[in-house]
Structure 1
Amino acid sequence: MGRHARSASADDLLTRLGQLTARAREEIEVQRARIELAEVLQRGMLPAALPTAPGLHVAARYAPARNGLDIGGDWYDGFRLPDGSLAFCVGDVQGHDVEAAAFMGQARIVLRAVAATAGTDPGLILHTANDLLVAMDSRLFATCTFVRFDPATWSVHGARAGHTGAVWAGADGRRGVQEDAGGLPLAVQEDEDYPVTRHRLTQPGALALLTDGVVEGPTVAQEEGLAEVARVLGDHLEDDPETLADRIMDVAEHTGHTDDAAVLVLRHDGPPTARRPGTAEAERQQPPAGGGRV
């Protein structure tokens, strides 16, 4: 009689164990499906190609987060504006889930739509895009850097929405981080102003737009990571942009980043009349009234 009781108890235990195993497998499949959905969303939202111009060479990279769904809201983009100039941007949506990936796609589409219809001024583009995203009443927000490269004047006009500063380096050995003034992240506050800065590219060099996942980690401060990216740019200016982008993403690996990371590299030869060792000279341009609005 005792043996039968023990046998029944063992059978119950095995049955329960089988149910728990089946439930765990089901939860794993659901999690895997969510990750695959987020990856598909993100791949679909990132551009298949980036624009270039004579003397301008462009490359970008993305690496997923190491926590959450291993996916997030970082993005990069590049496209031609109606006047023939080129627009480039990088951004970072809070969070690491399907919702963050979806909001990233919305922000990218809004920026493209605004840039196609509201003029080419980066401050105006961020201002208008911000108001549209605020009106969507999402609980999320996004930081962003938006720059416009004019191949006719070899100048870069840029504006920042709460985002990490761009890193630059020149062939004369100078390098640094742009600390231009900026506005609040997108989708935080309506009618926000975004100051515009003009950078005239007089000599060969490189500019790296990146998200904070590239330059900070659990034991690495952002300032340290930015300095390392500046060193990499300055030491490897002769590399093609694809290799440069890979080298910068190596910095993210060394920081042990837990956030997702994106980088967009613009390596330039300088204007045709001045293609000799040098660097980018930056001069502050105060925006028109209204934070760059025209």
Structure 2
Amino acid sequence: MTSIAMIEAAAARLKSHVRRTPLLSSPFLDGIAGRRLLVKAECLQHTGSFKFRGGWSAVSALTEEDRKRGVIAYSSGNHAQGVAAAAKAHGAPAVIVMPADAPQLKIRNTRDLGAEVVLYDRSGGESREAVGARHAEERGLTLIKPYDEPLVIAGQGTCGLEIAEQAAFEGVTRADVLVNCGGGGLSSGIALALEARAPGLRVRPVEPEGFDDVTRSLASGQVQRNSSQSGSICDAILTPQPGEITFPIVSRLCGPGVVITEDEAMRAMALAFLRLKIVLEPGGAASLAAALFHGDQIEGDAVVAVATGGNVDADLFREALTRYA
């Protein structure tokens, strides 16, 4: 299981390789949120998302022999790019299993980072886990899971270490920390870091409507599964159900989940561009949408929203700006 010691070890391996992303604010957004709003801009991380942290953490911990054989990952795009970039930097071959309906920008970026991309039919029900396991066994590759992997969780937890320090510098010691949530790797990693470094900060998972498995699981106390694995513009945070490793951590440390609509995610994308001058993808903007449009579910005079990624296709970003900017 991931621990604060593992997170600190990951931070040491990531030092000088990861960006310390800023905590941004805008009085205009504070006014909409009805409280002080701080935005952790992980969209400015290498490869455009927090997933670089987990990818580097996992690849850097492999033996030289394992790195020479290569790694494999499955992802709709952000974990794909994080692992591909980390593997390239370590001289390790990388195979990435991606859904054929993933944003073309993410598929192209993953290939441009030197990875071999294997596409699968997500909408037709093909299992990425089965495809990944088959290639891993046939080719002797090390599988790096997107969230149910202790080293990946540890890498994502380094974001929590930064939030603890930055929030304290801003004088915020008690607040909800809204985290976009798919399988729970980032939510659990940040929650573990905050438990040790800033216990007054509480993680709240954020999910899109129709794909709120973590929110429902937290409410019921038992793992719930989504009926569909595709069909939302928030592709970065679509997973079948919470992870076996992540859900116990999230259950112990996180507050109730918050569910947002696609329309709210698009509005948040436009506001992030107008007021913070950052580019967010829909799944990366969900936490900001929760802070701006679901204030009645948030406690305290301040809130932190983790803007997890900015890998959005140009047409979709243009639509968000046209409708809401």
State the TM-score, normalized to the length of structure 2.
0.28
State the TM-score, normalized to the length of structure 1.
0.30
Larger Rg: 1
Q: Which one has the bigger helix percentage?
A: 2
Q: Which one has the bigger strand percentage?
A: 1
